[in-house]
Chain A
Amino acid sequence: MTTAGTYTPQPGAAPLPRMIAAQAALETKMLLRNGEQLLLTVVIPTLLLVLFSSVDIVDTGKGEAVDFLTPGILALAVMSTAFTGQAIATGFERRYGVLKRLAASPLPRWALMTAKTASVLVTEVLQVILLTVIAFALGWSPHGNPGAVLLLLVLGTAAFSGLGLLMAGTLKAEATLAAANLVFLLLLVGGGVVVPLEKFGPAGQHVLGLLPISALSNGLRDVLQHGAGVPWGDLGILAAWAVVALAAAGKFFRWE
């Protein structure tokens, strides 16, 4: 039995930074523990990078295949975590009342979203390290401005997070699961990740180029493969997606 006074009220919220750090750590742990999530965020990008770099499946234009593929795979990694993974995880958290329960805790909603973003960024850093190491092992020789790369990755993350949360906050968990995987697959094929957009003809290339995944993969490729400066056009497309998607998610997200 417990001694008297054990439960004597002593309420209070923990300091915000501690709450956010704890929430981000838990979210990251949940993600890394989930087999399906690892398949999406680690196994598929790694396999595609290794397979398409070493076997001549798709004509990736002149130059080394790995120099073409690595920027695309980095874009895919961002999409897999910020969009697909986050949409599925958040959809099920909503379904199982996790978001509801946390809404009654001292953690403010904005802090929960901040923690989710932090968890996505931590996962992306791990992905980028892993994929970069593999790419170097495959003979990758990147160029360009690291600042532009970082800017692309951050804006890409914002755009995909907005889209993922919009989906998770409006659809049923099962629908989110199906739709997020389908979108992942379609954008993998049609977003300039492993297949150059030129293969879709001039008109197709033009339309597909407006997708966030194409903007991210093309932008990264311009910088890392061709040593271009800051790719303002692609950054603009990503920024537009980010603003629209995050605003829509903020407006339509339902917590229960």
Chain B
Amino acid sequence: MRSEPVVQVQALVKRYGAKTAVNGLDLVAGAGVTAVLGPNGAGKTTTVETCEGYRKPDSGTVRVLGLDPVRQSAELRPRIGVMLQSGGVYSGARADEMLRHVAKLHAHPLDVDALVERLGLGGCGRTSYRRLSGGQQQRLALAMAVVGRPELVFLDEPTAGLDPQARRATWDLVRDLRADGVSVILTTHYMEEAEQLADDVAIIDGGKVIAQGSPEELCKGGAENTLRFTGRPGLDVGSLLKALPADCTAAELTPGGYRVAGKVDPQLLATVTSWCAQHGVMPDRISVERHTLEDVFLELTGKELRS
């Protein structure tokens, strides 16, 4: 799902006093779902809030749906949906009341009752916002972001602190939005979330994008994947190596335990199994170990804890 960029950020710099939150960030997000990943304090929220028109860039340019979020805010606001990291609702308002209100600010809103039902907010009844559970507050904020039928939705950590059921419900909604042609920019700490939902992932650290691509592309980069199998000990690894592409390695790590490292794709798997067939080897416990997004993330951003 690639077309005109929905978000285009060039050389964005944003400082708060002496602290530089975003430091020359470039980001292009197309249609579909883009996940912005990064450790705490990486500049995710500042970047997203600049796109939403909340912050004025110190330098650089930001275009959202082709518009300047600060100068053309009036034109942009009806076209986007915003979910803040927290709050945004009158403490005395009830969930359906607030959602109905946001719906009234739009020309062609979604059916509020259906959305309430869909996100499991029907049980909130007459409870005021401040007495809702954290998960209910999150889901209300999500509903408020989509009720105006926007072209583009910004979700700032939409599933932080949600239980697994609520997280699935949120993911399902994001998938439905994408299927219906709504673009989504979401920030998250959860690698699984990015892998599950995103067409495109941008990893931010130190106020810059340090890697961007589809989850598959990102996982292919960095360290290589590995294929393991067990067979009888003492197979001719040299002959296996000859059958493999040049950039692969093969070794018997433990007696009968073999490892092939390299670009593991269906072709390589076929090569290994046919070599086994030729040599009368039954490759037991054959497995492909994929490099996860989390591996990539930790490789890129370091494993030490941030303050």
Contact = CB atoms under 8 A, between A and B. Distances in A.
Contact of B92 (A33, A100, A103): A33
A14 B105 contact: yes
A18 B108 CA distance: 13
Nearest to B149: A10
A96 interface: yes
A254 B101 CA distance: 24
Q: Is the interface of A mostly helix, strand, loop or mixed?
A: loop
Interface string B85-123: 011111111000100011011111010001000100000
B143 to A, nearest CB: 12
B114 A2 contact: yes
B176 A10 contact: no
B163 interface: no
A7 B110 contact: yes
Interface residues of A, number: 35
B270 interface: no
A95 B22 CA distance: 24
Chain A CB count within 10 A is highest, among B89, B92, B114, for B92
Instruction: Summarize B's interface: helix, strand, loop or mixed.
Output: loop
A19 B77 CA distance: 14
Interface string A104-117: 11111000000000
A7 B105 contact: no
Nearest to B77: A106
A230 B262 CA distance: 91
B73 to A, nearest CB: 9
Contact of A30 (B92, B102, B146, B151): B92
B88 A11 contact: no
A19 B107 CA distance: 10
A26 B90 contact: yes
A85 to B, nearest CB: 13
Contacts of B114: 2, 6
B105 A13 contact: yes
Interface string A26-45: 10011001100000000000
A122 interface: no
Nearest to A13: B78
A52 interface: no
Given A11-B148, A30-B93, A100 B106 contact: no
Contacts of B177: 7
A101 B105 contact: no
A11 B139 CA distance: 21
Contacts of A93: 90
Given A26-B93, A104-B77, A105-B77, A14 B82 contact: no
Given A97-B84, A97-B87, A100-B54, A106 B92 contact: no
A29 B146 CA distance: 24
Contacts of B54: 100, 103-104, 256
A5 interface: yes
A9 B81 CA distance: 11
B53 interface: yes
A4 B87 CA distance: 30
B150 interface: yes
B181 A9 contact: yes
A96 B53 CA distance: 19
A9 to B, nearest CB: 4
Given A11-B108, A97-B87, 18 more contacts: A7-B110, A9-B150, A9-B151, A9-B181, A10-B107, A10-B108, A11-B79, A11-B106, A11-B151, A12-B107, A14-B107, A18-B104, A22-B101, A96-B91, A98-B89, A104-B77, A104-B82, A106-B105
Closest 9 CB pairs of A and B: A12-B107, A97-B87, A101-B88, A7-B180, A104-B82, A22-B104, A13-B78, A10-B108, A9-B151
13 contacts: A7-B146, A9-B151, A9-B180, A10-B149, A12-B106, A14-B107, A33-B92, A97-B84, A97-B86, A97-B87, A98-B88, A104-B80, A106-B105
